[in-house]
Amino acid sequence: MLLEKLKTYSQSDIYPFHMPGHKRRMTLPSDAYGLDITEVEGFDNLHRAEGILAGEQQRFADFAGAKDSFFLVNGSTCGILAAISAAVPRGGRILIARNSHKSAYHALMLRQLSACYVYPKISIFDIQDMILAEDIERIISAHNDIEAVYITSPTYDGVVSDIKKTAQIVHAHGKVLIVDEAHGAHFGYHPFFPESAVKQGADVVIQSIHKTLPAFTQSAVLHRCSDRIDEERIRQFLDIYESSSPSYLLMAGLSRIVSFLETEGKERFDRLAEHLKYFYEKSRQLRFLHVLQDEDFDGERDVSKILISTRSCNICGRELYERLLKDFHLQLEMYSGEYVTALCSLMDEEEGFERLLTALFSIDGTLREDKEQNDFVRCIYSRKKQILSIYDAMERQTVTIDAESAQGHVSGGYVYLYPPGIPIIVPGEEIDAAFVQDMERLKVRGLIPEGMKGPGMALDVLSRGL
Ligand SMILES: Cc1ncc(COP(=O)(O)O)c(C=O)c1O
């Protein structure tokens, strides 16, 4: 039974270097069922909030520095759908970072939007780096029908873009800036971590509170930070995309975050900063594994996302992830071809950092240098040619063919690794030689992306002649 399995797991010694940010260390005041209600008298209605929920949301907004905040119980996903839908009219154009989460592409499909893409720089470790404000300026100047700009900062890898500069550019062109800050709900509350986009000029900011702060999975917040985007339009779309039965447990967990940060935030942030500084310094002594440091990136970074690269030694990301779990009972957030990610939060304890260091040094001692790994590391998120809009492509007939014979076809579906949920290809893009090679390389590394079917790695492409 699932419940029994969860209980057994929670009592095991497996240490969580993954979401949710509460790290299974928060407690409820009483039995959860006793707190689980619907919109009974005195408890307001999230979709027409004017009582206690309106008050709690405004308290969050005041704390975060937003004009108003909307509690989300369907994750950042429903906030992203609502923000894009509210900012761009149906059939309009949006400038969107190509390293966006799939939920943003789904908004484009639902609203039949056309996209101009801005691509991130690629770091020396072949990780998607920051979005350059200059690139946004160039694209926005060339397309005066762009209605809004959408970027992700920080990324799943902790890469932060220059939101202040981007906002100035976007506003100078009279457009709206939406920032997916799903991975940065802890920003803006302590000098060791970057400032939040809320306070840097973004017009809408969406945060998955559950990812990095101690809140239940699915709890998120949409912050409206300026009048450039209409409050009523956001409400209308949240009404469509969000459950009509929002959980009071999740909403209570969200309002609890403000009290938590007010009372315990400073001390916990101080402690986390000390643990991280110690961890990063010690990890410099690893011989073959490499913990990515600030100097490996161009811009600012959220160091609570620890990235451990295997690029110059004789194991790949998956093998490192498996050894950490099997031999040391450390559950990491994810593995990729050449690195693994450990997510840290305010709820981490010294024990976790010590255990991770011990495990890394122990594994490192068994490794040897292997430069051939470098052959693999070219970033799989290469530039693709758009043939049709996502909506137009998804309305067409598709056939399923093996990846190796797909070059030159137009993709009929998404292909992405989950996590992070960033499409390698989206519907309507041309399948190029790099894509075919990348699928083969991922298969060799034991990474089968979503959207690829069966042992032959087949995918949906548009039927010819339609
Ligand atoms: C960058 C980014 N944005 C948005 C989301 C969606 O967030 P949620 O799971 O809270 O719906 C994710 C999920 O992993 C993400 O990585």
Q: Are residues 134 and 190 in the same domain?
A: yes
Q: Are residues 252 and 269 in the same domain?
A: no
At residue 444, the pLDDT reads: 82
Q: Are residues 132 and 281 in the same domain?
A: no
Q: Does residue 366 fall inside a structural domain? A: yes
Domain end, chosen from 236, 259, 282, is at 259
Q: Does residue 382 fall inside a structural domain? A: no
Q: Does residue 133 fall inside a structural domain? A: yes
Are 136 and 457 within 8 A, CB to CB?
Answer: no
Euclidean distance between CA atoms 254 and 318, whole angstroms: 34
Euclidean distance between CA atoms 243 and 245, whole angstroms: 5
Q: Does residue 201 fall inside a structural domain? A: yes
The pair of structure tokens assigned to 96 is: 């969107």
Q: Which amino acid is at 281?
A: E
CA of 101 to the centre of ligand 1 (A): 6
Contacts of 399 (CB under 8 A, 6+ apart): 412, 460, 461, 463
Q: Does residue 6 fall inside a structural domain? A: no
Q: Which amino acid is at 383?
A: R
Instruction: Take atom 14 of ligand 1 and give the residue whose Cα is closest.
Output: 420
Does the CB atom of residue 100 touch ligand 1 within 6 A? no
CA of 153 to the centre of ligand 1 (A): 12
Ligand 1 atom nearest to CA at 155: 1
Beta pairing class for 204-207 and 176-180: parallel
Euclidean distance between CA atoms 249 and 433, whole angstroms: 49
Euclidean distance between CA atoms 189 and 300, whole angstroms: 16
Q: Are residues 302 and 413 in the same domain?
A: no
CA of 31 to the centre of ligand 1 (A): 29
What is the domain count for the chain? 3
CATH number at residue 329: 3.90.1150.10
Q: Which amino acid is at 404?
A: E
CA of 416 to the centre of ligand 1 (A): 14
**Ligand 1 mutation pick, 70, 73, 76, 81, max ligand atoms within 8 A of CB:** 76
Instruction: Take atom 2 of ligand 1 and give the residue whose Cα is closest.
Output: 101
At residue 466, the pLDDT reads: 47
Q: Are residues 62 and 106 in the same domain?
A: yes
**Ligand 1 mutation pick, 19, 72, 77, 254, max ligand atoms within 8 A of CB:** 77
CATH number at residue 117: 3.40.640.10
At residue 124, the pLDDT reads: 79
Q: Does residue 164 fall inside a structural domain? A: yes
Ligand 1 atom nearest to CA at 77: 11
Domain end, chosen from 347, 375, 403, is at 375
The pair of structure tokens assigned to 23 is: 């790290």
Domain end, chosen from 375, 398, 432, is at 375
Are 67 and 229 within 8 A, CB to CB?
Answer: no
Instruction: Take atom 9 of ligand 1 and give the residue whose Cα is closest.
Output: 75
CA of 156 to the centre of ligand 1 (A): 9
Does the CB atom of residue 420 touch ligand 1 within 6 A? yes
Q: Are residues 233 and 270 in the same domain?
A: no
Per the structure, the complete domain to which residue 185 belongs is given by: 32-259
Q: Does residue 95 fall inside a structural domain? A: yes
Q: Are residues 250 and 279 in the same domain?
A: no
Does the CB atom of residue 182 touch ligand 1 within 6 A? yes
Ligand 1 atom nearest to CA at 152: 1
Q: Are residues 235 and 111 in the same domain?
A: yes
At residue 378, the pLDDT reads: 62
CA of 277 to the centre of ligand 1 (A): 27
Are 202 and 177 within 8 A, CB to CB?
Answer: yes
Q: Are residues 284 and 335 in the same domain?
A: yes
The pair of structure tokens assigned to 257 is: 């975050």
Q: Does residue 290 fall inside a structural domain? A: yes
CA dist 272 to 109, 265, 276, 283, 462, Å?
A: 40, 10, 6, 16, 49
At residue 454, the pLDDT reads: 84
Q: Are residues 240 and 270 in the same domain?
A: no
The pair of structure tokens assigned to 376 is: 């693999």
Residues of the chain with pLDDT under 50: 377, 466
CA of 18 to the centre of ligand 1 (A): 14
At residue 465, the pLDDT reads: 54
CA dist 217 to 18, 38, 39, Å?
A: 12, 19, 21
CA of 2 to the centre of ligand 1 (A): 24
CATH number at residue 399: 3.90.100.10
Does the CB atom of residue 101 touch ligand 1 within 6 A? yes
Q: Are residues 237 and 275 in the same domain?
A: no
pLDDT single digits (tens) 399-417: 999 999 999 999 999 999 9
**Ligand 1 mutation pick, 204, 208, 334, max ligand atoms within 8 A of CB:** 208
Instruction: Take atom 7 of ligand 1 and give the residue whose Cα is closest.
Output: 76
Q: Which amino acid is at 346?
A: L
Instruction: Take atom 1 of ligand 1 and give the residue whose Cα is closest.
Output: 101
